[in-house]
Amino acid sequence: MRLALLQMTARAGDVPANLARIDDAMRAAAARGADLLLAPELALSGYGAGAAIADLADPPGGPQRAALARMAREHGLAIVAGLAEAAEGAIWNSAYFTDGAADAIYRKSHLYGAYETALFRPGPPAAVTFAHAGLTCGMLICYDVEFPENVRRLAQAGADLVLVPTALPAAPFTQFIARRIIPVRAFENQVFVAYANHGGADERFTYQGMSCVAAPDGSILAEAGGADAHEAGAGAGTGAGAQDALLIVDIDPAAYGASRADNAYLRDLRV
């Protein structure tokens, strides 16, 4: 699979503008032969839209998902993007996959902090997977990936690649998450982990950036820049944040057969 990963500056509360940004990225990714594009957490509404997210949430069969499916058909590649979902009498922080025909949705199970718990209902921990371009892919969202049990659940379900839309803010500890925890999750499960963050800032948050793709041997296959060090301690909505980027990387599980043989955590796990 050729994976495209979008680090984007979303406009909080402006779904049409964010869809247009994703459309541009899909066009560019398709021109470079990508099979799938990964966009950040709540990429369609913007993570920092606050209470307006409830009004922007997309119902089953709604216009935001229809727009993503149309773009997938038009550009000839699949997409996983974060959106707010309105279903079952609740608002969910969700990741949506579509290739223009088939689709799947994952609801964030581990909400982070008072901001998210005031806006969303947590989904049940689940191994949501789909097949695309010869791989089994699983989805998590941001804070979910910081719990090793969630990635292990997907690895045990057969995932080759874990796709993680995120909204990681600029703070002293968040660089550790992006550059240490993500490679460890890949290594301890012998899977690929793709981590797509926001860039820039909105009125509530400045984003760390540092989107990346980690391989089963713990190496970083592609990475985007992050917020400047002085911004990591800045308050919400201050600083310029990280720059936008489009990463392209080839995902080839066969190239890591030796790593999987030498680091057989899934085979040797005792519970």
Task: Give the residue numbers annotated as catalytic, written as ranges.
Answer: 41, 108, 142
Let me know how many helices (H) and strands (E) the chain has, helices first: 9, 12
Amino acid at the residue 185: R
CB 175 within 8 A of CB 232: yes
Q: What are phi and psi of 178, to 5 degrees?
A: -70, -35
Residue keyed to tokens 């980690």 = 214
Residue keyed to tokens 């503008």 = 17
Alpha carbon distance 178, 199 (integer Å): 13
Alpha carbon distance 92, 117 (integer Å): 10
Angle between helices 182-189 and 148-156 (to 10 degrees): 40
Q: What is the maximum alpha-carbon separation in the chain?
A: 50
C-alpha pair distances (Å), 155 with each of 20, 37, 109, 125, 164: 33, 21, 17, 14, 14
